[in-house]
Structure 1
Amino acid sequence: MPGSDMPYPVKGPQRGSEIRAVLFDKDGTLFSYHETWGPILREAAAMAAEGDEGLVPRLLEAVGYNAATGRIGAGTVFAAGETVELATLWNKLGVKREVRRLVEDLDSLFAREAPRRSHPVTDLQVLFSTLRQRGLRLGLATNDGEASAFATIARFGLAEHLEFHCGYDSGYGAKPLPGMVNAFCAAVGVGPEAVAVVGDNSHDLDMGRAAGAGLLVGVLTGTSARGDLAPLADAVIDSIADLPMLLDERG
């Protein structure tokens, strides 16, 4: 609580019961966002523009990419949205491919490139093993596509640790709707009050709050600054490497 000696103050200790499961966002949470997705976004825009070099900067700017810094803004379409939202916007800006085909092509690109380019923010095997040894049930929920999520899980050998994973196209709705949390709860047999939702973006935390999650944790390895997340989260930590300490401090 503010004013205490806790390194990661947790708001509102009345927010729920014992945490028995953790639902992680993927990009910006498990994996460093800008290192992973900056190059992929530039490639996606070039593909969508189909040789119209003048269109590429407009596509990038519209979804939150800052060419001067190489970073993607917090809460922007590419940081927080899903592929249909991205494709719809780009189609309106002059991309000739119709939206459904563009969604398919973008999801195919993301499923191929995201696993290859992803940079873990910490040793995920060690972290996940530590959390599972504490009896926690683990899942992953992303506004990326399910195929991309599955391919990334496979590349980094995380399937043995994760009992649930989903993307925007898995049938549970996209963030910030609560469907992904609800599906995770059903899969692992816990109520939402026993779930910690961990993410780098307002969409993650809004999803958790909408579902009634017991703990909302923001991380600073994605597109958001502490000031973006602090009003929405119960706690903000530097990265998921600090999650065991936060759970210890929470009790």
Structure 2
Amino acid sequence: MTEKQGIQGGQGGQDVQGEQDVQDRPDRQDVQGRPAAEDTRDTRAQITGTGETCGTPQAQITGEGGEPQTQSPRSMRDVEEAYSLDLEGAGAILFDKDGTLLDFTAMWGFWTDRALKLFRTLLAERGLALREAGLPQIWGTTHDEEGKTIDYDRRGPLAMGTVDEMHAVLAWHGYRAGLSWAEAKLLVRRCAEQADAAMEAERPAQLLPGVRKFLDRCRELNVPMGVVTADETDSALRHLEWLGIADYFDIVIGTDLARRGKPFPDLCLLACERLGVPPERVVVIGDTDGDIEMARAAGAALKIGIGEAGTLKLADVTVPSFERLLGSAVRR
């Protein structure tokens, strides 16, 4: 790492600056690495790039000649910017796992199909059934004509829930179908265990495009990296090992290590504590509202969304892929 501690834009066309709430925490350092009390400017994380941008009501886009152009959060979300990301200034980068580093549908679509198929079979053996039309509403999934999971709701339980929450949702549907609550929980656990075993045998994890190159770039710059996930820690480590990327990360924090999972800040704060880096020097990258809200609540310097424009309203910038993000990352 160099002495520079700022997280700021490079030579893109415009800067988007998102204000961080530091008034009630005067002992914090700003993203430039100086005590906030010594700087008369607002503490801000700077980014410039191509993607959807948004910020607080005080956020500014710097126009031609360096004059600030104040815009509302709504108008900023609707603007396509040209930006570059200075990774070398980051104290650490925290990544979500599913849907950010790995292909969510390939992994959890596989698991969902096997868990639901067995659950429906067990219900049928008891003269009960789940409505076919109601399957997408269980965990927030989209299915093809053959019932295979082909997509998921980024706001839904499958995308944002913990393992225990997933079990509880399916158990509730079993109860509604006619099972006792006790039997529903037992059957769900059985289905989940068999789906886990099938996933262990098949190992359907797939890296998303550009991920390995982006991790290589961060490693070259000696930026500490960690994973914060709604999955459990042992499971997350296993999936990262399947993909051959476990060694990139200094820490892996699963939801079982904190009192509260996403969207609460606990996972992010625990990761920062273990890395020895204050949240206001950390970049968080994720694909759901849960990731971005966790980062916001923790006071992260920069919140980067991976996904389609307009899907992550709280992100400072949203890009469609790591390939795009990699193209914007510059070494100073």
- Interval containing the TM-score (normalised by the shorter chain): 0.7 to 0.9
Q: Which amino acid aligns with 1:154?
A: E
1:166 to 223, 237, 253: 253
Partners of 1:111 and 1:148 within 8 A in 2: no
The CA distance in 2 between the partners of 1:165 and 1:20, in whole Å, is 17
Q: Kindly state the Cα deviation for residue 248 of structure 1 after the two structures are TM-superposed.
A: 3.0
Q: Does 1:137 align with 2:229?
A: no
Corresponding residue for residue 18 of structure 2: 12
Q: Which amino acid aligns with 1:31?
A: L
Q: Does 1:126 align with 2:206?
A: no
Alignment of 1:64-83 (within 5 A): 64-68=140-144, 70-83=150-163
Structure with the higher fraction of residues in helix conformation? 1
Q: Kindly state the Cα deviation for residue 109 of structure 1 after the two structures are TM-superposed.
A: 3.4
* CA pair 145-236 structure 1, distance change in 2 beyond 3 A: same
* CA pair 45-143 structure 1, distance change in 2 beyond 3 A: same
The more displaced of 21-30 and 50-59 is 50-59
Corresponding residue for residue 279 of structure 2: 192
Q: Does 1:204 align with 2:291?
A: yes
Partners of 1:195 and 1:214 within 8 A in 2: yes
* CA pair 204-245 structure 1, distance change in 2 beyond 3 A: same
Partners of 1:83 and 1:103 within 8 A in 2: no
Corresponding residue for residue 199 of structure 2: 113
Partners of 2:227 and 2:249 within 8 A in 1: yes
Please report the TM-score for the alignment, with normalisation by the length of structure 2.
0.64
Partners of 1:107 and 1:145 within 8 A in 2: no
Partners of 1:38 and 1:70 within 8 A in 2: yes
Where does structure 1 lack aligned partners over 5 or more consecutive residues? Answer: none
Q: Kindly state the Cα deviation for residue 134 of structure 1 after the two structures are TM-superposed.
A: 1.0
Q: Which amino acid aligns with 1:6?
A: G
* CA pair 45-164 structure 1, distance change in 2 beyond 3 A: same
Residues 65-93 of structure 1: per-residue CA shift (max 9 Å, x gap): 12248211120111111122121121111
2:123 to 39, 52, 60: 52
Q: Does 1:242 align with 2:324?
A: yes
2:244 to 147, 154, 157: 157
Where does structure 2 lack aligned partners over 5 or more consecutive residues? Answer: 1-10, 20-42, 47-88
Corresponding residue for residue 227 of structure 1: 310
The CA distance in 2 between the partners of 1:176 and 1:213, in whole Å, is 13
The CA distance in 1 between the partners of 2:192 and 2:208, in whole Å, is 25
Corresponding residue for residue 268 of structure 2: 181
Structure with the higher fraction of residues in strand conformation? 2
Between Structure 1 and Structure 2, how many residues are aligned?
242
Partners of 1:205 and 1:216 within 8 A in 2: yes
Q: Kindly state the Cα deviation for residue 39 of structure 1 after the two structures are TM-superposed.
A: 2.4
Please report the TM-score for the alignment, with normalisation by the length of structure 1.
0.83
Q: Kindly state the Cα deviation for residue 199 of structure 1 after the two structures are TM-superposed.
A: 0.6
Partners of 2:269 and 2:298 within 8 A in 1: yes
Point out the structure with max Rg over C-alpha. 2
Partners of 1:194 and 1:213 within 8 A in 2: yes
The CA distance in 2 between the partners of 1:8 and 1:41, in whole Å, is 43
* CA pair 206-132 structure 1, distance change in 2 beyond 3 A: same
The more displaced of 41-50 and 240-249 is 240-249
Q: Does 1:35 align with 2:122?
A: no
2:138 to 62, 65, 82: 62
The CA distance in 1 between the partners of 2:285 and 2:260, in whole Å, is 18
Q: Which amino acid aligns with 2:311?
A: D
**How much is the aligned-residue C-alpha RMSD, in angstroms?**
3.0
* CA pair 144-8 structure 1, distance change in 2 beyond 3 A: farther
Residues 133-163 of structure 1: per-residue CA shift (max 9 Å, x gap): 1121101111122222111111222232101
